[in-house]
Copies of this chain bind each other. A is one copy, B any other.
Amino acid sequence: MALAGKTKKDVLLEFRTTEILEAARTVFAERGFNGATIDAIAVEAGVAKGTVYLYFDSKRELFLASMREGVLALHAEVAAQLRTAGSCEGKLHAFIAARFNYFSRNRAFFRIYYTEFSHLVCGAANAQPEFQDLYEEQAKLLEEVLAEGIAMGQLRPFDAPRTARIFYDLVRAALAQHILHGAGDSPDEPIRTLFEFVWKGIGAK
Contacts and interface: CB of A to CB of B under 8 A. Distances in A.
A31 B149 CA distance: 41
A170 interface: yes
Nearest to A111: B122
B34 A204 contact: no
Interface in A128-185: 146, 149, 153-156, 158-159, 162-163, 165-167, 169-170, 172-174, 176-177, 180
A3 interface: no
Please classify the interface of chain A as helix (H, G, I), strand (E, B), loop, or mixed, using the class held by over half of its residues: helix
Among A114, A124, A146, A162, the one with the most B-chain Cβ atoms within 10 Å of its Cβ is A162
A196 interface: yes
Interface string A94-106: 0000000000000
A127 to B, nearest CB: 10
Interface of A: 30-35, 89, 92, 111, 114-115, 118-119, 121-126, 146, 149, 153-156, 158-159, 162-163, 165-167, 169-170, 172-174, 176-177, 180, 190, 193-194, 196-204
